[in-house]
Structure 1
């Protein structure tokens, strides 16, 4: 532990599993006071216990503006400002063109685009000048994936947010960057591929497409997020950092 985030206040949305949970743990280990969100109370409580340190769980769905308001009300009860926002909550499922429903479209865009937008916008009154915002995009934003166009489009929108918001926030010196994970070992990935037993073959196939010959681990993504949020990245702004084992670099 280096204590890079001692006395810092960090918000991690979608912090109950996978990349969000690993990142919240990493921030906590580095000394931060961490606020995480999750939709299910049981998962939220379990995550808080796993993370340890100065962590607060706030139940909420980041596609709902009232829940975002409740998150920042909880932060404000304990702290005067926020140093880092990791807008990570998101998800998606498969549907090929011809089978996409309005419900799927709205659900995916509400969580991945609307949720990210208002998570960041509503943080601004508390976000410290010179603070950092990290958005979770995806390699799917630049690499076509069958039956995954809606999710991929949302992640392209997230990437675009980073490019534009650095201009909106330049007077406050707030950096905004995007992290784009490749295939990563998470419960969400297993669920997407039909459950852990069914997913193994798909993950092995995908690992064969990655130059490093394996899929990523949530902790590896977390370390990249911490870099972007830290002073070590003080001149990194509007960037997209691929953490994908080289998958979309070839």
Structure 2
């Protein structure tokens, strides 16, 4: 039954709905990022997407299987790489209509385990990299375009995620400032905040299969809707904010099955 619903949903997609639109998706090789790339190209948009692992870039290219999607190796923690990305976007796409800042890393480390190196590594990718990606690419954005950041449903807190939670809260905070600053160009800036989403890594680096299974079980149990979300559901929310929500800016949309709202508690 579920498969049929998905088939019906995909068959209803207009492959020309976003024809002529151009987009960039950072962190687009797996999970939610790849789902956003697919949702865009399925609707006719041309997309440049990034990753920092050559194997994942190759796997994404094979999985997406469309000339509308262009993989680019880029590291969001490297200022020179962000500059190079800007140049590649300008050369390949000219300008862009939509920017999805989706890259992120998380590591479970308690208070005693966190080091300056690990703290900086997580902030460099999640917060600093996100901000400077927008700074470099904003001049290429069309008037009336949109930016969507990916944060996390942070209303319920987990031990061991101090740096990750703080970095994502920083993104949520400066996204509102950017929404105000970009108003004169009619560029909308919004945020999606996923909860437990079924991805290959579950958003945490270095999980074993056993740890991933345990994480999924915990996520299902703590999500009021009783299940983890799909990457397609996250992509649908991202596209809604980017394309459909034309009178919405400066908001953070929870995509978490009621997790952050305390439903059913």
Q: Same fold (TM over 0.5)?
A: yes
Separation in structure 1 between the aligned mates of residue 26 and residue 192 of structure 2, nearest angstrom: 14
Unaligned 5+ segments in structure 1 are: none
The alignment's C-alpha RMSD in Å is 1.4
C-alpha deviation, 1:26, in angstroms: 0.7
Q: Quick check: 1:180–1:244 contact (8 Å CA) kept in 2?
A: yes
- After superposing on structure 2, the runs of 4+ consecutive aligned residues of structure 1 that deviate more than 6 Å are none
- In structure 2, the residue matched to 1:12 is 25
Change (3 A) 1:242 1:191: closer
Cα distance, 1:190 vs structure 2: 7.4
CA distance in 2, matches of 1:197, 1:48: 28
Assess if the C-alpha contact under 8 Å between 2:108 and 2:204 holds in 1: no
Per mean C-alpha deviation after superposition, the further-off stretch among 144-153 and 203-212 is 203-212
Q: Deviation per CA, 1:1-24, whole angstroms, max 9, x where unpaired?
A: 223321111100001101001111
Gaps of 5+ in 2: 1-12
Select which of 209, 214, 223 maps to 1:196.
209
**Which of 106, 116, 123 is matched with 1:109 structurally?**
123
1:127 alignment counterpart: 141
Equivalent residue runs for 1:75-154 within 5 Å: 75-140=89-154, 142-154=155-167
1:122 CA drift (Å): 0.3
In the alignment of these two chains, the number of paired residues is 248
C-alpha distance in structure 2 between counterparts of 1:157 and 1:238, whole Å: 14
Q: Is the 8 A contact 2:105 2:204 kept in 1?
A: no
Offset, 1:198: 2.9
Deviation per CA, 1:55-109: give whole Å up to 9, x if none: 1111010111211122222221233211000000111101111221011100000
